[in-house]
Amino acid sequence: MVFTFTAPLWLWNGKGAWHFVTLPQDESSIIRMAVPRRGWGSVRVKARVGEAVWSTSIFPDSKAGAYLLPVKAEIRNAEGLAVGEPVTVTLSLDL
């Protein structure tokens, strides 16, 4: 399964100040129904933003009813991403 979507990059202000992109609810529902989850409900994915490609996991967010994609500093810096700006992401499930 491959999904492409655009959503804003946001900063979680807790310990570590992680940056995330929230997957749309429709795509999150499809993933939740189709994929066996691992610890904390995570799902392994391969993500692409611009020219950057990396392997990571997405994590469910019960408040949003969607999955969260963490975007590490290396990717943000390489692609010039800033908090609040839209990010186009292509995700493939790493089953």
Report yes or no: 49 and 77 within 8 Å, Cβ to Cβ: no
- Mind listing the domains of the chain with CATH numbers? 2-93 (2.40.30.100)
User: What number is the average pLDDT over the span 15-35?
Assistant: 91
Q: How confident is the model at residue 28 (pLDDT cuts 50, 70, 90)?
A: very high
Q: How confident is the model at residue 34 (pLDDT cuts 50, 70, 90)?
A: confident
Higher pLDDT, 16 or 34: 34
Report yes or no: 71 and 20 within 8 Å, Cβ to Cβ: yes
E strand map for the chain: 2-11, 19-22, 43-49, 52-61, 66-70, 86-93
Could you give the dihedral angle defined by the CA atoms of residues 26, 28, 29 and 30, in that order, rounded to the nearest 10 degrees?
90
User: What number is the average pLDDT over the span 34-44?
Assistant: 80
Q: Is the pTM of this model over 0.75?
A: yes
Q: What is the pLDDT of residues 51-76, one digit of tens each?
A: 999 999 999 999 989 999 999 999 99
**Does 37 score more than 70 pLDDT?**
no
